[in-house]
Structure 1
Amino acid sequence: MSRPAAQADASNVYGYFGEQRNRGLELSAFGEVQRGLRGIVSASFVDAKLTETARGLYQGNDAAGVPDKTFSAGLDWDTPWIPGLSLNGRAIYTSGSFLNAANSAKFDSWTRLDIGARYRTVIAGKPVVFRANVENLMNKNYWLTTGTYVTVGTPRTFVLSASIDL
C-alpha cells in the first residue's frame, strides 16, 4: 500500500511532499479454545519505507510512527464456581517506531497488560452485565505514535460499567 508521506520540504514547510510504502502481513485468530475459554491472538509485521522524499533526503528511511511489529493476545474464561462470572486478560506488545523522517528520534517498544471481570445476571427480569477492568495493570509509561503525532499512553486506569437489556 502506498500513501502520501508528511515531511518538511527544502524551505522547511511541512506538508505531504512524498510517498510512503507499507508492506506487511497481519494475522489473527479467535475462537473457543475449550468450553468456557475463549481466546484471541493477533500479530502484524510492517515494513514502512519512505519511497519518495523532498530532495531524496530521507529516501529508504523507515516511515515515522509505524512500528515494525505488534502482537496481542487475550483470554476470557467463564469461572466454574460462580455462574455468570468471567475473568479476562490481555497482553499488547508494540515495537518502537521513529518520530521523524530522518530516523533520528525513536520511541521505545512497550508492553501493556490488562485484566478484567464480567458478571452476567438477571435483575427484575432484565439481563444485566457488570464489568470491572484494569487497563495498564503494571502502570507502564509508554508513548503512542502515529506518523508525527505522539501522545502519552494511558496510565493504570480502572473502568467500571453496567449495561441492561431493555
Structure 2
Amino acid sequence: MVARHGVCGQNATASHTSAHLVSGNFSNAGTVFPPTRTKQAEVGVKIDTGRFTTTLSAFDITRPNVITVPGTPPSQQLNGEQRNRGMELNVFGEVAPGFRLLGGLALIDGEQTRTQNGATDGRVAIGVPVVTTNIGAEWDTPFVRGLTLTGRVIHTGRQYVNATNTLSIPSWTRSDIGARYTFASPWNGKPIVVRASIENLFNEAYWASAYSGVITLGAPRTYLVSTTFNF
C-alpha cells in the first residue's frame, strides 16, 4: 500500500499534530513551532472478493505551512497553508495458492494555498510528488517448507524543493528483495521466523524526499536480518 493513512467506506475526518524546527539559516533558528493540527476528509469504497481486496478513496487534506518572511536574515513563521487533494488505490490478496500481491497507487495534487503576500499561491507544495506507487509480491516456495520469497518495487515522482517551484529532485524507483523462513522451535514448538532482505538492490543513488528546504538522500544498498521468537 502507499504510505498515506486513510479510511475507506465512509465519509471521515481525521487530524494529527506535527512540529517544525527552524534551521540555522534563519534569524529565529532553533525555534520549535508548537504542534499544529491537520484536517482530513475522505470517502472511499472497498471491494472484498474473499481472496482479493481492492480499496479506492478520495481525500482532501488541509494543513498549516511554514512561510519565509523577508529580512536580514529572513525568518520562518507558521502562517501559511497547504492543501493536498487526490485519490488512492490499493489492491492486495492471493492471486494463486501461495502467491500474494500487494500494491498501491496515489495521485496527489499538492497546492500552496496561503503564502507570504500570496507570492506562490497556487504553486505545487514542497515535497509532494504527483504520483507514488509500489507493488510487492510474496511466494511460499514448494521446495522448502516454511520459506517465503518477497520482492517490492517503489516509485516516487518528482518533488519540488522550493516554494517557487524552480528547484526539484527527480523521480526515483527502488527495488527490494527478501526472504523469511518459519519453523517450529525445538524447545517449545512455537514458530520462529528468520527474515533477511536487501533494500535498494541495484544500489541506485537518489534524493528520497524534500521538506522545508531540506532534501534527504536515499539509503544505499542495505542488508537487513532479523529473527522473531515466541515464548
TM-score, L = length of structure 2? 0.69
1:154 aligns to what SS in structure 2? Answer: coil
Mapping of residues 102-113 of structure 1, within 5 Å: 102-113=164-175
Kindly state the Cα deviation for residue 10 of structure 1 after the two structures are TM-superposed.
3.2
- Contact 1:10/1:55 (<8 A) preserved: no
Match of 2:63 in 1: 3
Match of 1:153 in 2: 218
Bigger mean CA deviation after superposition, 38-47 or 12-21: 12-21
- Contact 2:160/2:210 (<8 A) preserved: no
- Contact 1:44/1:71 (<8 A) preserved: yes
Match of 1:15 in 2: 77
Match of 2:53 in 1: none
Kindly state the Cα deviation for residue 106 of structure 1 after the two structures are TM-superposed.
0.1
Kindly state the Cα deviation for residue 146 of structure 1 after the two structures are TM-superposed.
4.4
Higher strand share goes to which structure? 1
How many percent identity over aligned positions?
42
Q: What is the total number of aligned residue pairs between the two structures?
A: 166
Match of 1:24 in 2: 86
Structure 2 segments unaligned to the other structure (5+ residues): 1-60
Structure 1 segments unaligned to the other structure (5+ residues): none
Bigger mean CA deviation after superposition, 110-119 or 122-131: 122-131
- Distance in 1 (alpha carbons) for counterparts of 2:162 and 2:218: 19
Q: Which has the higher contact order (CA 8 A, sep 6+)?
A: 1
Match of 2:123 in 1: 61
Letter in 2 for 1:107: I
TM-score, L = length of structure 1? 0.95
**2:141 aligned with 1:76, yes or no?**
no
